[in-house]
Chains A and B, each alone.
Chain A
Amino acid sequence: MNNLFLTFALGVSLTVAMAAPATVIQNATILTVTKGAFTGSVVMQDGKILEVGEKVKVPQGAHVIDGTGKYVMPGIIDCHSHIAADSINEGAVSVSSMVGIEDVLNPTDIAIYHALAGGVTTANILHGSANSIGGKCTVIKTRWGKDAHDIIFEGSKPGIKFALGENPKRQGNANPFNSTAPRRYPATRMGVEDVIREAFVEAQIYRQTWKDYNAKVAKDEAALAPRRDLKLEPLVEVLEGTRLVHAHCYRQDEILMLLRVADEFHFKIRTLQHVLEGYKVAKEIAAHGAGASTFSDWWDYKVEAADAIPYNAAIMMKKGVLVSLNSDDPELMRHLNDEAAKTQKYGGLTETEALSLITINPAKQLMIDKRVGSIEAGKDADLVIYDKHPLSNYAKVEKVFIDGTLYFDRDKDLTDRPVKAQEKQTLLDKEKKNAPAGMRRPS
């Protein structure tokens, strides 16, 4: 399976590298998200969108795909995912900013392929929510078949996960299943705030230590460089504004708490994640400049997630918050287009507004909107072809391109299935035949 895909993906990218013939999707409904929708064509070359419009110039030798009756939209961007990684939570400490998803990316996670088949081309892979300050995040493209380093969204801004509420404070309380398990501070929401504040006080001191050292070096004074601290370095980057904060949160009180702490330390929360009570404090969120990445209608899975409404995304959007919808789940990730559609029913968003929740808005939140999130000339050729309008829940993904390369083809997937089943049966038979006598089962 892996191998098949490897050769397949390799073959395609090789042809792109050698002769770089263009690919044109013709005569389809193009949902650009930023420049309206129309019947027309998209030209992809060298990984980028060369041209898009009702009439385009088809380059010589271009591979033409007939899009009659089909819909083309920008690749879906999921601002909150936990796929493609060999570990998610470093739960042993309350501040785990020393760890990072990039170290444990697993490009063979089948969830990548499933997400790809659901039209997702970019995902923000976040650390879990076990601690107040979690680990570093990595933005990937769902380039199935590539090695770890090659699925990273090159040039994307680094991020870090924060978490408020029940998850980070849970380990501070007695474990009902194991009374001897060590407890970990904090045990309350107040404690979560304290952990974050203390970490940033530490980071400020650390930053100052290096400043003092550099000043000494500049004056040619003998000095020993401070010890590098992998826990504090990312927090200094947050203070300097070079690392984006994605904060898991639910309740309005803790949302306001975090915004105040950030203001106090002069940094910005880039996105509030889940933020199910965001509709209550949308004005304050907009004033801080934080984005919000929420669910359409997933709630009540724990107490702090009870006071949610399906109008959350629409209300926050109308109050001026930059809003996206995310999955946080490999299954939900496969139909984010359905999730976007729900905001038309609950909140009355337009088609374009609904689509923006899973394309251009998460791109802006992740500060990759110059590259992805809409169909515009010059942007990455990350495109999805649907057989029906993607906001219909009858729509199926037919083809997915990333950087102009075909990474998912529904027809190919269907024809490959019996081949792989046969391959598997052959190996099973071989193993059965070669099993030592004691291992054989009576039939």
Chain B
Amino acid sequence: MKRLLCLLAAVAGFAAAQPPTAIAIQNARIIPVSGPAISRGTVILRNGLIESVGANAAIPADAWIIEGEGLTVYPGLIDALSTVGIPEPPPPIVAPGGGGGQRAAALAAPPSATPPARGPEDRPNTTSWQKAADLIRLTDPRIETFRSAGFTTAVTFPTQGIFAGQGTAIDLSGTKPGQMVVANSVGQYLTMLNSGFGGGFPGSLMGTISYIRQIYLDADHYKKAKEFYAAHPRGTPRPEYDRALEGVLESPRILLPAGRRVDVDRMIRFARELNQPALLYGLPEGYRSADLLKKANATALINLRWPEKPLETDPDEIDGLNVLEIRDQAPSTPAVLVKNGVRFAFYSGGLTRRSDLLKAVKKATDAGLTSDEAIKALTLTPAQIYGLADRMGSIEPGKIANLVVTKGDLFDERTQIQYVFVDGLKYEPVPEPPAGPGGPNRGARTPAPGDQQ
């Protein structure tokens, strides 16, 4: 058996080149998430899919066997809102928020940059047609870092702009970007970006909101105009092709930022007005917004990077009670939402190191979330939210063979991840990158969704 394991380890490096036809993980504890835990059982993987799972699943003759004694098998983790796979974008042409927008724009914009928008008709800060699937670069080192932390799937989004573009669910394995794509358009990422006073339109939050509203009215009109033209091509001026509206129309749902309770309230109403299925992301004040979320039957994407005191503040400046309370209470959001029956998934918010992720989850479990619920928020729930639960999110026959195999409980900090299976390919985690200067969660972070709330 030991020899077989050695062999397997050796093969793992070439896994992509020559995968075994079938793999059986036997005698392991299995957490399918969709059903009760199996204290001792077998998972069989074939052709990148889960063939069977159970206490007594028969091991096919052609399967490579992995001894799972003392190991636990979980479904692969899903980062419900991510930028993994999309290399860092160049600095935005227009700096978000505040009065400095104009100057920042003047400094950042090359001479040939687009002139400031004069109104909604110029489609400012809009790349709604852009799909994450088309932006993926295999060279992004975060693919491996995330995978080593137990993530097998990321729902990755372009994040620059008001209508930033369409997200794509990708599996963190593959030799070509196209192989990674699980679903190429799962939603449109929106921010409340504005160019600040003195820049182009929109220069304010209310300008951005009115712009988004106008875009949906325009999209509706665009659809009707095309239909009308198809029915009456003679005598009707042809409607102009508009890629911004095309992108909006092909997005199955929208993601809206919801930092404070005020924003939760505002965005719930806005999504209802726009008549769009919506996911609210961020939610540091989710613990004090549960009533609103419950009443609206809303779905939340909770940023695991809990708010903390920024490093660069004046040490003599004392924060107000409200800010202090949010920093203290934010990690109780998941537990409060469970209690209120609000559906939510976690997203990494730029945390890439497993130790940081564990610390973040621990804060939530310390505040009352059970570890079963935490696992669900990183597996089955995000799959359900994006309509992908028929193919991932739990250990069930026929689903994609995305698994995390650990020695110990997933959220125990002493636990080591033994293997990560993505599309049936076995990976062993690489050591964690060092923490940036200033302690954990700091420094080495890349900009992440929800940063600019």
Contacts and interface: CB of A to CB of B under 8 A. Distances in A.
Same assembly:
yes
Interface of A: 1-3, 85-93, 96, 98-101, 103-104, 106-108, 130, 135, 147-149, 171, 175, 178, 180-182, 222, 224-225, 227-231, 420, 423-424, 427-428, 430-431, 435-439, 441
Interface stretch (B148-156, B200-208, B340-348, B423-431): B200-208
Highest count of chain B CB atoms <10 Å: which of A85, A103, A175, A178: A103
Contacts of B119: 93, 231
A441 B317 CA distance: 13
A438 B436 CA distance: 12
B328 A427 contact: yes
5 contacts: A1-B321, A90-B210, A108-B262, A182-B200, A428-B318
Given A99-B210, A103-B209, A428 B324 contact: yes
B48 to A, nearest CB: 42
Interface string B260-282: 11100110011000000000000
B321 A98 contact: no
Given A86-B262, A98-B207, A439-B438, 4 more contacts: A91-B203, A108-B262, A147-B261, A439-B311
Contact of B232 (A88, A148, A222, A230): A222
Contact of B262 (A100, A148, A438): A148
B225 interface: yes
A441 B311 CA distance: 12
B217 A230 contact: yes
Contact of A438 (B203, B207, B218, B439): B439
Given A93-B201, A99-B204, A224-B236, A427 B115 contact: no
B205 A439 contact: no
B232 A225 contact: no
A224 B322 contact: no
B321 A90 contact: no
Interface in B169-210: 194-195, 197-207, 209-210
The 8 closest A-B pairs by CB, nearest first: A92-B203, A87-B204, A427-B324, A92-B201, A436-B439, A87-B205, A90-B207, A99-B206
Contacts of B218: 227
Contacts of A182: 115-116, 200
B324 A92 contact: no
A91 B200 CA distance: 9
B39 to A, nearest CB: 37
Nearest to B232: A222
Nearest to B221: A227
B446 interface: no
Contacts of A222: 228, 231-232
Given A224-B225, A420-B321, A93 B210 contact: no
B325 interface: yes
A86 B210 CA distance: 14
Interface residues of B, number: 59
A210 to B, nearest CB: 13
A147 B260 CA distance: 12
Highest count of chain A CB atoms <10 Å: which of B198, B292, B440: B198
A420 B321 CA distance: 8
A431 B324 contact: yes
Contacts of B118: 92-93
Nearest to B289: A147
A157 B102 CA distance: 35
Contacts, number: 151
B165 to A, nearest CB: 23
Interface in B307-364: 309, 311, 315, 318, 320-322, 324-325, 327-328
Given A99-B204, A135-B206, A439 B309 contact: yes
B40 interface: no
Contact of B228 (A100, A224, A423): A224
Given A87-B205, A90-B202, A92-B202, A149 B221 contact: no
Contacts of B231: 222
A373 B438 CA distance: 57
Contacts of B202: 90, 92, 99
A85 B265 CA distance: 14
A180 B232 CA distance: 48
A423 B270 CA distance: 35
A103 B206 contact: yes
Contacts of A2: 288, 322
Given A100-B206, A428-B318, A92 B117 contact: yes
B205 A431 contact: no
A419 B119 CA distance: 49
Contact of B204 (A91, A108, A423): A91
B244 to A, nearest CB: 14
A147 B327 contact: no
A431 B103 contact: no
A426 to B, nearest CB: 9
A99 B212 CA distance: 11
Contact of A88 (B204, B270, B327): B204
A224 B262 CA distance: 38
Contacts of A147: 261-262, 265, 292
B209 A99 contact: yes
A244 to B, nearest CB: 19
B56 interface: no
A92 B262 contact: no
B34 interface: no
